[in-house]
Structure 1
């Protein structure tokens, strides 16, 4: 068995082709994870009518999804560190495909809720899997670009969901649209299975006399891990509002046609992907990560405020969503590098599992609050709340910088601090 590349050692320098293969495969899987997070939100107007439910009830489906995903994500980090990422990744993709087909045949609200649980289980594995593969198989000089591509594919997944589902719904029905989503998930799974050798990571046997890192909870004592958790919790609230409610709130405030509402989200996500390309180069200097995050979300907050208090023609609303997306995208790779700098080398899956659990908790809480605001017609308040959370997010990013990191010791290595 080849043990030269293990979960407990940094990635060795490899060829560009090998790095590109890993980054591409991981990014494609990540795209489906994000795509699946938005299977229901773009279809809320149709689902609301089909099942005679409120926005708050539809938002609760997202809460179910992300609560389950959160629990699975925290646990899956330990499983990834123990058994390796590849089988966990394949299982997650399979469950997302099953959930999409389940949504398409649902005949009641509670059937939707059941398949939201299945989808949440599948979604919960991706961040521990993805970042373990990236951090262990991609050469260190290319990590910034790997984070950039990872973020870009996630944003493209979010952009693809409304761009694909809404036109198919208009042409056929929301059931056909969700069935097509299931086909896409299984098609990507087939590609990854065919290229499974490129996703192999062997799990090293414990070294005699070394700390039992694979079963240790010592990383939970690192303050920066919890600061990153808080940061991602706040980031998730912002993201959830943009995905589920901000376009609809803007529609009511600026008389945007229903057909243009999904375009707002698609433009946001495509522009976020473009911002991440630039952000990948800016993240090459780790010392300026917090400033990049602050500037990016500062501009995004200004765009949200303008949407809340301004009076714009319908065609300008997607433009402002694009500005907000591009600014947020620039911050993406620096955001991921903040977590990397707080991650001990021997606890990658566990740290990313816990930190990104904050993402799921935020997306579980947000729909309950902002969905209720939407039901009460507080559309301006939704957008102002979005801007407020973006400002809090900036402060959180700078707090991460202030916290010293102490890494878990590995054999022959003293704890380090930054």
Structure 2
């Protein structure tokens, strides 16, 4: 990587880390909110869907703004908005105001993925782009692990309202630092007239024309398969801390916290399942790296299909393995963490392959509309299944989602001919 590429990658690693720090701290906080607001899993699943849905739906207009104004300003605004939203979460007194605050967070966070991934695809050369996607993904997974870990540890000592206020601070600092960063956003592609022309993206006709170009070739199949993946992702992660708690209790029984030196308020807030959840998310860092390196060596759509096969099998095996023994529970959790996050850089490389370079923001906007917008319904689906059906039913549904997405990826991987979108290195 050259200096420009290192600057881009470093800036995005910090921002990506923070986006997912907030995203995955929410399931940990949900274990508190279930008691604090006396609501069912179905109601709370619907509440958090508000924030997660806006997180995804906002990616499409975010992608349009990226192609018009560039990535840096949008990412700085994203950081400021996320920090402010978590301050609002800490001030919430009802589950309704929590939903509104999470909606603000989702709106701010929604622009990140189209902005950040478009920046990698236009600012980092093709021969090192997979590595940049891998580092970017690893940083996101560090946030995915750090958010729940920091939240769980802070909850041992202070009230949840103060916890979310503390979590808001890093984003506000990063926004200030981001304003001072310098790099060329389009160093790896040729852009007409040396940069973006804001006037070309202003009209509805231009948006429709650009969308038609984006969906040419194989992108439609990519869009459909990422929706299935998004439903799986949100469906499995949202209530996983609660599910792991039930499985651990059945395996270990009540844990004598005094025997390990935990007493008083610390013991009251200690939850072993939260730390297993953090461990599952942490191993995803390795999965991100493997997926990123694979995207440089094989056709990424075929790698996506392989990961989806693994996710489907893991969903079918999860409940039996979790109930069999502690060792099998740990093993299936590790496998889920690796496969769930290992496919992300492969998906991102597939998007870059099947989209035009001058509409990457719009392409990633559509992608994250599917992953996080439509995918946000996974939280609602999971909440209702857990309330009115069973844990086993939930994982069978998840297996079906991954299997359907795998079929689409397989069709895409058997297509002949090169992508319609070709990058030109500078």
Tell me which interval the TM-score lies in, with the shorter structure as reference length.
Answer: 0.7 to 0.9
Q: Name the structure 2 match of 1:198.
A: 183
CA deviations 1:60-119 (Å, max 9, x no partner) are: 222111322233211111111111111111111111001111111111111111111111
Q: What's the offset of the Cα at 1:200?
A: 5.4
Closer, same or farther: CA 100–405 of 1 in aligned 2, 3 Å: farther
Q: Does 1:218 align with 2:212?
A: no
Contact 1:74 1:350 (8 Å CA) reproduced: yes
Correspondent of 2:312 among 301, 309, 314: 301
Q: Name the structure 1 match of 2:295.
A: 283
Question: With structure 1 as the length reference, what TM-score do the two structures score?
Answer: 0.85
Contact 1:275 1:326 (8 Å CA) reproduced: yes
Closer, same or farther: CA 75–334 of 1 in aligned 2, 3 Å: same
Q: What's the offset of the Cα at 1:52?
A: 1.5
- Rounded Cα–Cα distance in structure 2 between residues aligned with 1:81 and 1:366: 29
- Rounded Cα–Cα distance in structure 2 between residues aligned with 1:67 and 1:328: 20
Correspondent of 2:243 among 249, 270, 281: 249
- Rounded Cα–Cα distance in structure 1 between residues aligned with 2:163 and 2:375: 23
Q: Does 1:62 align with 2:56?
A: no
Closer, same or farther: CA 200–265 of 1 in aligned 2, 3 Å: same
**Correspondence 1:2-401 to 2 at 5 A:** 16-195=2-181, 197-198=182-183, 212=200, 215-221=206-212, 222-255=216-249, 259-287=271-299, 289-310=300-321, 311-314=323-326, 316-376=328-388, 378-401=390-413
Local SS of the residue matching 1:343: coil
Alpha-carbon RMSD: 2.7
Closer, same or farther: CA 155–393 of 1 in aligned 2, 3 Å: farther
Local SS of the residue matching 2:324: coil
Gaps spanning 5+ residues in structure 1: where?
1-14, 411-418
State which drifts further: 73-82 or 185-194.
185-194
Q: What's the offset of the Cα at 1:275?
A: 1.6
Contact 2:28 2:241 (8 Å CA) reproduced: no
Q: What's the offset of the Cα at 1:371?
A: 0.3
State which drifts further: 341-350 or 295-304.
295-304
Contact 2:223 2:366 (8 Å CA) reproduced: yes
- Rounded Cα–Cα distance in structure 1 between residues aligned with 2:397 and 2:12: 34
Q: What's the offset of the Cα at 1:405?
A: 8.0
Contact 1:250 1:307 (8 Å CA) reproduced: no
CA deviations 1:270-308 (Å, max 9, x no partner) are: 211102212222211343x23322332323333332221
Closer, same or farther: CA 386–303 of 1 in aligned 2, 3 Å: same
Q: What's the offset of the Cα at 1:365?
A: 1.0
Q: Name the structure 2 match of 1:415.
A: none
- Rounded Cα–Cα distance in structure 2 between residues aligned with 1:286 and 1:130: 23
- Rounded Cα–Cα distance in structure 2 between residues aligned with 1:359 and 1:330: 15
Q: What's the offset of the Cα at 1:234?
A: 1.0
Closer, same or farther: CA 205–66 of 1 in aligned 2, 3 Å: farther
Q: What's the offset of the Cα at 1:34?
A: 1.5
CA deviations 1:224-247 (Å, max 9, x no partner) are: 222222121111111112321234
Contact 1:219 1:351 (8 Å CA) reproduced: no
- Rounded Cα–Cα distance in structure 2 between residues aligned with 1:406 and 1:290: 12
Question: With structure 2 as the length reference, what TM-score do the two structures score?
Answer: 0.84
- Rounded Cα–Cα distance in structure 1 between residues aligned with 2:225 and 2:341: 16
- Rounded Cα–Cα distance in structure 1 between residues aligned with 2:39 and 2:20: 25
Contact 2:28 2:274 (8 Å CA) reproduced: yes
- Rounded Cα–Cα distance in structure 2 between residues aligned with 1:384 and 1:260: 26
- Count, aligned residues: 391
Contact 1:308 1:381 (8 Å CA) reproduced: no
